[in-house]
Homo-oligomer: A and B are copies of this chain.
Amino acid sequence: MVAGIRTPNPLNESTKNDQNRHLSSLETTMPKVYGELNQIQKNLEAHFRDMQDIEFTIQDGRLWMLQCRTGKRTGVAALNMAMDMLLEGLIDRKTAVMRVAPSQLDELLHPILNPESEKAAQVVGKGLPAGPGGAVGQIVFTAEDAVKWSKNGKKVILVREETNPEDVEGMRVADGLLTARGGMTSHAALVARGWGKCAIVGCDAVHIDLSKRVLTINGKKYPEGSVFSLNGTRGFVYDKAIETMDASENPRFQEFMKMVDTFRTMGVRTNADTPEDAQMALNFGAEGIGLFRIEHMFYGMNSEAPLSKLRKMILSESVGERKLALHELAPYVRAAAKETLRVMDGLPLTFRLLDPPLHEFVPHTHDKQKELAKELGISVEEVIKRGEILHEENPMMGHRGVRLGITYPEISEMQFRAIFTATAELIKEGLRPRPEIMVPVTISVKELDNQKIIADKVHKEVQEQFGINFDYQYGTMIEIPRATIVADEMARTAQFFSFGTNDLTQMTFGFSRDDIGSFMGEYIQKKILPFDPFQHIDEPSVGKLIEEGIKKGRSTSPDIKIGICGEHGGDPQSIHFCYRMGMTYVSCSPFRVPIARLAAAQAAIKEAK
């Protein structure tokens, strides 16, 4: 029976189904034993105040209880049971909040593959579950095709070797993403989770022949347009259509979340870079934006124009050329800042200064190179040459973040002016924008001081220009090990810290998140690491650095505001750690906001015990 090779007899008449309708039930065959079992079950569930999985046997007409444990359930079931038991007075509100695992909320927010239909299908490939939920559609191999097919009303699954910023428009229109390479924090995974999109990454079995438009998996060939289904919650790939279901319309979800917030003490913000994402996060209950990545406005929809200006800026060779390009870029940054500040009216919005991986924005296709050459008034060869100069051996530890602002102060100045001008314009409209400026990749308070001189100068100029006064907050990412060690000095200038635990994990482990795919699997399997440290904060190392950073920061600035904006900000286990560390808020992608709210409430309940 445990092996599933026998169809068990039904317990009673009322729960008979198609598989066992022909079999007699325990209720009719052994009415006395059935009554006994029924009573024991009621006693057990009353005692444990939760649904139980019960194992029993009947020998010579006598009932033997073997074991019982809390029954497994889906997210929808967990929510319904918790609310039912609360209404029945079986459990109190605190217990009801604890009954739903934060990760189970995912199910309520994404369409999923119907588990019954999925059971009947054959898995053809496995990858990392990078974006939860389910997706069904026709496979295409380029972002352009995804856009084209989707315009023709087709549901598509975008299959790529790996993705880059140029694919973003295709990723946005696709129902699901499947990549052959990349880890849980690869570009594809980050974008997918940000949008709550179903995605499977690092699926080794995937081999794409782009010229022939054919996908090969385990020797079997699938032409463009073949129908695939993805289970992004488990990382399973299917080569046929599987029924989906939408579980998000559960009417009790809002009610439950309202209750959750009564126990929560730590703030929950969101990582959002567009007015649309900001609005979505607000609907999910976000209390501010903890991370607005200025460079993200160059990814995706309608970004062609600003992207070409950014490229122009990046490939500039002189201060003059760069200032001209920045001048053209400024209106886009100001508009993006203004519209998102408008959506977040009255709530804090943390703008992180540009931290673009420069080489990613250098055009690689001949067409784009030609286009840019024309715009810059230089030869294609010159575009290629300047691009090569920007090449870095290890861009993650290269000329990025505040290092750009130190060497090219005009880049910082443009951003400060865009943000302050947007703020001033909104104040004139009668709104209450609350901008916060966050400096990335810092290692020393001297970097913060250097940039603040520019910020304060521009702040003063904009206030004078508009004839108004307004405040802004000035803080820093803490994402490089050195920053955690000298946090006491950083806190002399920074009004807030936001732990960037993606980069902090990279540097603490010496793990490039783009490259760990080749060994992380074996590290987990051989139990060298208990889990992927990009999924949960590694408390013995990254956690220790965070603890020291907070302690030191508060030693010079006791009330400093402290948050987290790495991917861990949406991970329940890490959120619990952040609560213990006394953080002011966590910030996560819009779709994870409800999860973070629940995890933060549960942390408060658990730690109060």
List chain A positions with a Cβ less than 8 A from chain B: 392-399, 403, 406-407, 441, 443-444, 446-447, 450, 479-482, 485-486, 503, 506-512, 514-516, 518-519, 522-523, 526-529, 538, 540-541, 544-545
- Given A503-B510, A507-B508, A523-B406, decide whether A444 and B529 contact each other with a Cβ distance below 8 A: yes
Q: List 16 A-B contacts (CB under 8 A).
A: A393-B396, A393-B512, A394-B396, A394-B397, A396-B397, A397-B397, A397-B507, A398-B512, A406-B519, A406-B523, A481-B507, A482-B508, A482-B538, A485-B508, A485-B540, A507-B510
* Nearest-neighbor residue (CB-CB) of A529 within chain B: B444
Q: In the complex the two chains form, is A392's CB within 8 Å of B481's CB?
A: no
Sample of 14 more A-B contacts, CB < 8 Å, known A393-B396, A393-B514, A450-B528: A396-B510, A397-B511, A403-B519, A403-B523, A406-B519, A407-B518, A443-B541, A480-B510, A481-B509, A481-B510, A481-B545, A482-B509, A485-B541, A507-B507
Q: How far is the CA of A178 from the CA of B147 in the complex (A)?
A: 50
Min CB–CB distance A302 → chain B (angstroms): 28
Pick the contact of A395: B394, B516, B540 (CB < 8 A).
Answer: B394
Q: In the complex the two chains form, is B485's CB within 8 Å of A394's CB?
A: no
Contacts of A526 in B (CB 8 A): 406, 450
Q: How far is the CA of A506 from the CA of B481 in the complex (A)?
A: 10
Q: In the complex the two chains form, is B396's CB within 8 Å of A509's CB?
A: no
Q: In the complex the two chains form, is B544's CB within 8 Å of A485's CB?
A: yes
Contacts of A486 in B (CB 8 A): 540-541
Contacts of A406 in B (CB 8 A): 519, 522-523, 526, 528
Pick the contact of A392: B444, B479, B510, B515 (CB < 8 A).
Answer: B515
Pick the contact of A509: B443, B446, B544 (CB < 8 A).
Answer: B443
Q: How far is the CA of A482 from the CA of B529 in the complex (A)?
A: 13
Contacts of A481 in B (CB 8 A): 481, 507-510, 541, 545
Contacts of A443 in B (CB 8 A): 509-510, 541
Pick the contact of A398: B392, B515, B523 (CB < 8 A).
Answer: B515
* Nearest-neighbor residue (CB-CB) of A505 within chain B: B482
Ranked 5 nearest A-B pairs via Cβ? A394-B512, A397-B512, A398-B515, A393-B514, A482-B541
Q: How far is the CA of A503 from the CA of B444 in the complex (A)?
A: 19
Q: In the complex the two chains form, is A398's CB within 8 Å of B518's CB?
A: yes
Min CB–CB distance A478 → chain B (angstroms): 12
Min CB–CB distance A209 → chain B (angstroms): 12
Contacts of A446 in B (CB 8 A): 527-529
* Residue in A394, A450, A510, A515 whose Cβ sees the most chain B Cβ within 10 Å: A510
Contacts of A529 in B (CB 8 A): 444, 446
Q: How far is the CA of A480 from the CA of B545 in the complex (A)?
A: 13
Q: How far is the CA of A510 from the CA of B399 in the complex (A)?
A: 10
Q: How far is the CA of A443 from the CA of B510 in the complex (A)?
A: 8
Q: How far is the CA of A450 from the CA of B527 in the complex (A)?
A: 10
Contacts of A407 in B (CB 8 A): 518-519, 522
Min CB–CB distance A592 → chain B (angstroms): 25
Q: How far is the CA of A250 from the CA of B528 in the complex (A)?
A: 55
- Given A397-B510, A398-B515, A519-B407, decide whether A447 and B528 contact each other with a Cβ distance below 8 A: yes
* Nearest-neighbor residue (CB-CB) of A522 within chain B: B407
Contacts of A479 in B (CB 8 A): 510
Contacts of A395 in B (CB 8 A): 393-394, 512, 515
Contacts of A399 in B (CB 8 A): 515, 518-519
* Residue in A395, A480, A481 whose Cβ sees the most chain B Cβ within 10 Å: A481
Pick the contact of A528: B394, B444, B516 (CB < 8 A).
Answer: B444
Q: How far is the CA of A506 from the CA of B519 in the complex (A)?
A: 21
Q: How far is the CA of A113 from the CA of B22 in the complex (A)?
A: 102
Contacts of A398 in B (CB 8 A): 512, 515-516, 518
Q: How far is the CA of A481 from the CA of B403 in the complex (A)?
A: 22
Q: How far is the CA of A526 from the CA of B395 in the complex (A)?
A: 23
* Nearest-neighbor residue (CB-CB) of A391 within chain B: B515
- Given A446-B527, A447-B528, A485-B544, decide whether A441 and B403 contact each other with a Cβ distance below 8 A: no
Contacts of A523 in B (CB 8 A): 403, 406
